[in-house]
Every structure is written in structure tokens, then in C-alpha cells.
Amino acid sequence: GQQLNQSPQSMFIQEGEDVSMNCTSSSIFNTWLWYKQEPGEGPVLLIALYKAGELTSNGRLTAQFGITRKDSFLNISASIPSDVGIYFCAGQRETSGSRLTFGEGTQLTVNP
Amino acid sequence: GAVVSQHPSWVICKSGTSVKIECRSLDFQATTMFWYRQFPKQSLMLMATSNEGSKATYEQGVEKDKFLINHASLTLSTLTVTSAHPEDSSFYICSPYRGRGNTEAFFGQGTRLTVV
């Protein structure tokens, strides 16, 4: 079952606003990944994080690997309508090999 | 990123029939293949993990005789839903894994299965 708590579940924002979502866990993860999924499509990798404290950007997206290795956040700046979708965090634990544990997802709606 | 091709993107079948879903890694060899199922408004749930040339490992609650997985080569894996029922209707997604310390996971486009 899911062991990552992702929040918020959904967000309704105006175009141009910044967005922040996060994932927390009671377990330590070695890798944090952030994905975006659009309707009828598979998840697409946005950002991968490999070290505690790491802060990585991909255009208007910024994600950080928490110092405790038990959390991560994703920020989207100056949102645009095409940012609409479901955002998932996923983590890999040292003891689970390549298996991913997913968060419940954040549904983002951007009003023009 | 890696190129993953999953087919079909959608399929409608009658109850009792079987459906095969293909997943190909086009520009890399996948030592491991993960198959996920996703119900509406829910996250991805891992169904099974397969390694090339060996039997798949199924997650608790997933019937191995109903969801047949074949991973005969490093670039192709198939999931066959046998004797499908309406409750099997879901979005199925594959994720080939390159291994060798590469921790980034890529996904196929998904297959929407509707059983009527």
C-alpha cells in the first residue's frame, strides 16, 4: 500500500499563481521523483532528486529532497493553463531496490 | 528520457475474453518491468514485477493466473488479462527499468481497458 502522504489532494488556482505541494513519509527514501500525469496518459518524469538537501529546477518547476530524507516538495511558479494535471511524488527506498512508492497525487486546476 | 511504447492505448472487450497489452522499451534494454494498475482518481498500484527470462513476482491480492506476464526479451513485456470481467476495467501502465544504478523510472502511455 501507499506509504507516502501527499498534499494537498487538489488545488484550484488562477493563472500566474505559484503552487506548492509536498510528500512526507515515515520511512527514509534514497530517491525522490516527481511526475505529472495527464488524462489518458502515463506519468511523465519532471524532476529526480538523489541527495538529501538537493534542490533541482526544471524550468518553472523546483523540487527539493528533504534533509531528513523523509520528505520532498515541488513548486511550480507562474502557473499556466497547461500545468493542469495530476502530480505524483514517488520514492525509492534502499531496501526496496528499484520499486517505487507513490503518493496519492495532487490534482491541479489552473483557471485562465 | 527513455522511449517506452505501450499498446494498445485503449481496448474494449467482452466479459470472459482475454486481452494482451504490450510494452516495449525502444531505446534501452529493460532488465526489470513493472506493471501498474490505476483506478479513477487514484494513484498507481503496483501489480507485479518481472525480470527478463524469469517468472514475475506478484503483489499481494493480484491473481497471477488472471494477469499473465511475459518478459521474454529485454525490450518487450506483455500483460494478458485472462477471462476479463467488468471489475478488471482499469488503466494499466508499464514501467521498464534500465537497472545498473539508474533510478529514474519511465512509464508507458497506459492502456485503458473497458470490459463490457
Whether A45 sits inside 8 A of B103 (CB atoms) is no
Mutate to test the interface with B, among A9, A38, A89, A100 (most CBs of B within 10 A): A100
**Cα–Cα distances in angstroms (integers) from residue B65 to residues A85, B4, B46, B94, in the given order:** 34, 26, 16, 18
Whether B43 sits inside 8 A of A100 (CB atoms) is no
**How many CB atoms sit inside 10 A of residue B90's CB?**
21
pLDDT tens per residue across span B61-84: 999 999 999 988 889 999 999 999
Chain B residues with beta carbon closer than 8 angstroms to that of A35: 107
- Of all residues in chain B, the one with the smallest CA distance to A30 is B103
Q: Is the pLDDT of residue A48 over 60?
A: yes
pLDDT tens per residue across span B22-49: 999 998 888 899 999 999 989 999 999 9
The 3-state DSSP class for residue B88 equals helix
Chain B residues with beta carbon closer than 8 angstroms to that of A44: 107
- In the A/B pair of chains, how many CB contacts fall below 8 A? 57
- Which band of pLDDT confidence, cut at 50, 70 and 90, is reported for residue B52? confident
**Cα–Cα distances in angstroms (integers) from residue A52 to residues A20, A89, B55, B76, B97, in the given order:** 19, 16, 35, 35, 23
Whether A42 sits inside 8 A of B108 (CB atoms) is yes
**Terminal CA-CA length for chain B:** 36
